[in-house]
Amino acid sequence: MTITTLERMHSDASALTFLNVVKALQQKLVVDKAVVPRRRKLPRRFDDGAPGFCHDSVESFYRASYFEAIDLAISSICDQFDQPGYARYRKLEDLLLNACQG
């Protein structure tokens, strides 16, 4: 159920809604406007001459962070409950609940 809800939140519409709520709170709480972090120069040993990726707007920067957080939450939940020991405990719980119910 939680994973299904998080997967529904993994859309452009949900990200836009979330960003609009954050902007409204930002204005209400009188917080400074968000800015894109400055572009950092790579050390010479890592620089291959290709242009690096840089977000062009605050929305695109935080949209990427939003999707990363949702993906991390989904994978953490899946890792937690897809363990072999958890399946055994789940079967034991079902057995005890069935025994209690008759």
In a domain, 17, yes or no: yes
Q: How many domains does the chain have?
A: 1
Tell me what pLDDT residue 74 has. Answer: 94
Tell me what pLDDT residue 63 has. Answer: 93
In a domain, 45, yes or no: no
In a domain, 46, yes or no: no
Half-sphere CA count of 57, side-chain side, radius 13 A: 4
Range of the domain at 76: 2-34+57-101
Q: pLDDT for 22-59, tens place per residue?
A: 999 999 999 888 888 888 777 888 877 777 777 888 89
Which amino acid does the sequence have at 74? I
Residue 13 CA to residue 67 CA, distance in Å, equals: 12
In a domain, 10, yes or no: yes
In a domain, 41, yes or no: no
Mean pLDDT of 73-90: 86
Tell me what pLDDT residue 28 has. Answer: 93
Residue 51 CA to residue 57 CA, distance in Å, equals: 17
∠ Cα 70 76 78 (to 5°): 105
